[in-house]
Amino acid sequence: MITRLKQRMIEQSGLKNIHEKLENGARLAEQDALRLYEVRDLNVLGLLANIIRERKNGSRAFYILNRHINYSNICILSCQFCSFAKKRRDAGAYEFTIEEMAGKTSQALQLGITEIHMVGGLHPSWKFEHYEEMMRAIKSIDPKLHLKAFTAIEILHLAWIGKLKIQEVLERLRTAGLDSLPGGGAEIFSQRVRDQICRGKESAEEWLDVHRTWHRMGGRSTCTMLYGHVETIEERVDHLRKLRVLQDETGGFTAFIPLPFHSENNRLSHVPEPTGFENLRNLAIARLYLDNFDHIKCYWISHGLKLAQVSLSYGVDDIDGTVLEEKIYHMAGATTPQEQTAAELVKAIRETGRIPVQRDSLYREIPVPPISIPCNDRRYNGEKYWCGSGSKR
Ligand code: V47
């Protein structure tokens, strides 16, 4: 039940029909999503998104202890939006050795991470076997560590260099230690937009087909949308629709992660970046339209931790994790830190009144002993702040 004041806000925004659909558990149509993008009252969008967020996840807000490894930025593609990719002889080009990747993994394990998120450029000379070796080396350090690796375009690249079918690539990688696929590389599915921001990259159908194949093999993955550049609102809704259709078919996506465009050091630098308003409404509309997704993630690296906190009232139930080392957004001008401690994530969540839940890669709760966080915030009056399982003692 919502209060009369909220009811009035919804009616004044002309969203009574959409609210009724949501209350009845009915699915929003593309026209509804387009209508939501016309609304200027962000609070109404938040109010509606919050109904669904709480229906699906209560007051819980998830985070994970993870480490990113961007194994190399050397890439045969030249996506216009990308600030990360370099050619082999460019200043700033790098590739990690397998020993370096193993070293980063071992160090991060000391901090309690449960997941490695590993993606990189399409390397011009590494052989298929090198990728298998990378996986085996990391997995051998701790077989329980969840390896989330390789976006769909990397999988297609591996199929090409290994002269293998997509399913064969995924099977071989799974044998070498692959546990799930990350959601990167989806960009915007419209071919018109792809021709402008990532000409030569895989098509929407190819991206979806990699994930479909993996889901049919019993695997899980995430999905993204890189927005706020040259796409139209219709193209955003079309992107969401394609993800929802695949999710209806396979149920294999764990979460959706909208990624706001960052404009520094790339060939789209003249395009203004999306604003805080844009980011919040986009998260809220995703929550409302993607009724078959359990989780909407606000990746704090790309949105900032402060906006990620606010987003917990705008449909979001996950703020990602510790990350530890991030290159893709920082090369594109992100001013966020490179990492967060678990304590900082927990504190950020608790301040919003949500219950912090440490999760594994498949959103199962990891029970953690309460950790004490010295709290400098005057409102807590010097009280010791206990985090982890969500209790304050
Ligand atoms: O694939 C690259 C995007 C992605 C820029 O699956 C950019 O849980 C904005 O996919 N501005 C990498 N976006 C990050 C990613 C991700 C992050 C966190 C969690 C998960 C997950 C996935 O970032 C790339 C590309 O789509 N990207 N450059 C840019 N200038």
Nearest CA to ligand 1 atom 9: 261
Q: Cα of 185 to ligand 1 centre, how many Å?
A: 7
% of the chain beyond a pLDDT of 70: 94
State the pLDDT confidence band at 242, using cuts at 50, 70 and 90: very high
pLDDT in tens, 295-321: 999 999 999 999 999 999 999 999 999
Report the residue among 226, 230, 340 best suited for mutation to probe ligand 1: largest number of ligand atoms under 8 A from its CB.
226
This prediction has a pTM of 0.95
Q: What was the pLDDT predicted at 185?
A: 97
pLDDT value at 380 more than 80: no
Q: Cα of 301 to ligand 1 centre, how many Å?
A: 10
For domain 60-358, give its CATH number from 3.20.20.70, 3.40.50.2300, 3.40.50.720, 3.40.50.300.
Answer: 3.20.20.70
pLDDT value at 378 more than 60: no
pLDDT in tens, 78-111: 999 999 999 999 999 999 999 999 999 999 999 9
CATH 3.20.20.70 domain position(s) in the chain: 60-358
Residue in this structure with the two tokens 């087909």, named with its chain if needed: 209
Q: What was the pLDDT predicted at 373?
A: 55
pLDDT value at 145 more than 70: yes
Asked if 81 and 197 touch (Cβ cutoff 8 Å), the reply is yes
Mean pLDDT value of segment 203-214: 98
pLDDT value at 379 more than 60: no
313 lines ligand 1 (CB under 6 A): no
Alpha carbon of 98 to those of 102, 139, 151: distances in Å? 6, 12, 19
Mean pLDDT value of segment 193-212: 97
Report the residue among 114, 197, 220, 224 best suited for mutation to probe ligand 1: largest number of ligand atoms under 8 A from its CB.
224
Report the residue among 65, 196, 253, 259 best suited for mutation to probe ligand 1: largest number of ligand atoms under 8 A from its CB.
259
pLDDT value at 383 more than 50: no
In angstroms, the CA 68 to CA 252 distance is 22
Q: What was the pLDDT predicted at 387?
A: 41
Pairing of strands 385-387, 371-373: antiparallel
Asked if 71 and 134 touch (Cβ cutoff 8 Å), the reply is yes
Q: What was the pLDDT predicted at 377?
A: 45
Mean pLDDT value of segment 365-391: 53
State the pLDDT confidence band at 269, using cuts at 50, 70 and 90: very high
Alpha carbon of 355 to those of 63, 73, 111, 313: distances in Å? 11, 37, 22, 13
pLDDT value at 392 more than 60: no
Q: What is the mean pLDDT of the chain?
A: 94
pLDDT value at 340 more than 70: yes
pLDDT in tens, 74-87: 999 999 999 999 99
Mean pLDDT value of segment 270-290: 98
